[in-house]
Amino acid sequence: MVTRIALTGLASAVSVVSLTLTGPAGAASTLPTGVRPPEGRTRPLEWGTGPLTAAALPRITYVAHRGGAREVPENSMTGLMAAYERGTAQVLDFDTRLLRDGTPVVFHDETLNRTTYLGGAVRGLDAREWQGVRLRPKDALPGSWRSERPPTVAEVLDRFGGRIVLMLEAKDPRSLDRLAGLIRARGLTRSVFVNSNDPEVARRAHRLGLLAQLWRSARQLRTDRPERWRSYVDLLDVDHRARDADLVRAVNSGIRRVWAHTVVTDAQRDRVLALGCDGVITDAPGRLARAAQRGARP
């Protein structure tokens, strides 16, 4: 059951902005207040005739976690679009959940309460009811952001698939077959990492022909033996708070990519890179990228 949360001053609390992602024709794009495209670019970067794949990622990769949750409304189309336009991350991350009718949508929590104007379980809604959900941007975010409907997974894949590498977390393991179908239908099996905390879900993702990502907490890494997963895990996603020895063991596991989450400071970034991680999953990709340009380790 979904309950409505009473709010006052909604119209004045949230500014509505227009934001359009341009296509190959290169029409000008409009960004939220305070957001500017990278210098020298008037439209999103185009990747040629084929889809961009994980093989094209740089040696050190930056990931916009939930779109960059300290800079944009998390898991929103507008936030993902802004992160894409800024060009400070090479991967866009978002979370997925299933609605009652099996529709995969972009959302982190089990309930609507924290980030929307509604309350109740996400799985209690169907696709028609999802049309009435509106995100509630945090007041602390820089710039002005509109209230908007959280996107479906299909909408995000259609908007960004093949133009930038994507990372999606399957919060509900039951969604894996449905997600695989959406990814395969768009020719994006080498362009989308499918994330889970469960090694068996990662194994299933690999068997489905997907790029399998496995995230582990600092506590889990204390006893993990990551080398056991190297035959089917394409990306090991480690907690930056883990002990040095645990991070080094992950880096030396034989898994091709080891990226650290969720980094928000220069010191955290510099530590995980010094220990051998080759990717940074961050809530603040814009700020960390600017710091790197000023002379911090890339």
Which one-letter amino acid corresponds to residue 33?
A: T
Question: What CA–CA distance (Å, rounded) separates 258 from 234?
Answer: 9
244, two tokens: 């040095």
In a domain, 183, yes or no: yes
Confidence category of residue 49, pLDDT binned at 50, 70, 90: low
Label residue 231 left, alpha or beta by phi (over 0 means left) and psi (-120 to 50 means alpha). alpha
In a domain, 141, yes or no: no
DSSP secondary structure, 245-271, as one string: HHHHHHHTTS-SEEEEEEE-SHHHHHH
77: enclosing H helix or E strand: helix 77-86
158, two tokens: 């259609």
Question: What CA–CA distance (Å, rounded) separates 249 from 225?
Answer: 8
**Is pLDDT at 38 greater than 80 in this prediction?**
no
**Is pLDDT at 20 greater than 50 in this prediction?**
no
User: Could you say which DSSP state residue 156 is in?
Assistant: H
62: enclosing H helix or E strand: strand 61-64
**Is pLDDT at 14 greater than 60 in this prediction?**
no
**Is pLDDT at 9 greater than 60 in this prediction?**
no
DSSP secondary structure, 78-121, as one string: HHHHHHHHHT--SEEEEEEEE-TTS-EEE--SSBSTTTBSEESB
**Is pLDDT at 206 greater than 60 in this prediction?**
yes
pTM of the full predicted structure?
A: 0.84
**190, 54 Cβ separation under 8 angstroms:** yes
Confidence category of residue 290, pLDDT binned at 50, 70, 90: confident
Any idea what the Cα angle at residue 254 is, between residues 50 and 169, rounded to 5°? 55
The predicted-structure confidence for 95-118, as pLDDT tens digits, reads as follows 999 999 999 999 999 999 999 999
* Mean pLDDT within 204-230: 98
87, two tokens: 């060009």
The number of residues making up the chain comes to: 298
In a domain, 143, yes or no: no
* Mean pLDDT within 4-13: 38
Weakest mean pLDDT among 39-48, 104-113, 153-162, 273-282: 39-48
Q: Whole-number mean pLDDT of the chain?
A: 86
Q: Which of these, 231, 278, 286, lies nearest to 259 by C-alpha position?
A: 278
In a domain, 247, yes or no: yes
Higher pLDDT, 26 or 206: 206
In a domain, 220, yes or no: yes
DSSP secondary structure, 179-222, as one string: HHHHHHHTT-TTTEEEEES-HHHHHHHHHTT-EEEEEE-HHHHT
* Mean pLDDT within 165-188: 97
Confidence category of residue 219, pLDDT binned at 50, 70, 90: very high
- Provide the domain limits for residue 270: 54-108+149-295
DSSP secondary structure, 18-54, as one string: ------TT-------TT--PPTT-SSPPP--SS---G
Give the model's pLDDT for residue 291. Answer: 74
In a domain, 199, yes or no: yes
Confidence category of residue 13, pLDDT binned at 50, 70, 90: very low
Higher pLDDT, 268 or 28: 268
Give the model's pLDDT for residue 186. Answer: 96
**Is pLDDT at 46 greater than 50 in this prediction?**
no
Longest dimension (CA), the chain: 54
The number of folded domains in the chain is 1
**Is pLDDT at 12 greater than 60 in this prediction?**
no
The predicted-structure confidence for 140-168, as pLDDT tens digits, reads as follows 999 999 999 999 999 999 999 999 999 99
Confidence category of residue 293, pLDDT binned at 50, 70, 90: low
**Is pLDDT at 30 greater than 80 in this prediction?**
no
Question: What CA–CA distance (Å, rounded) separates 168 from 237?
Answer: 12
In a domain, 257, yes or no: yes
**CATH, residue 219:** 3.20.20.190
In a domain, 74, yes or no: yes
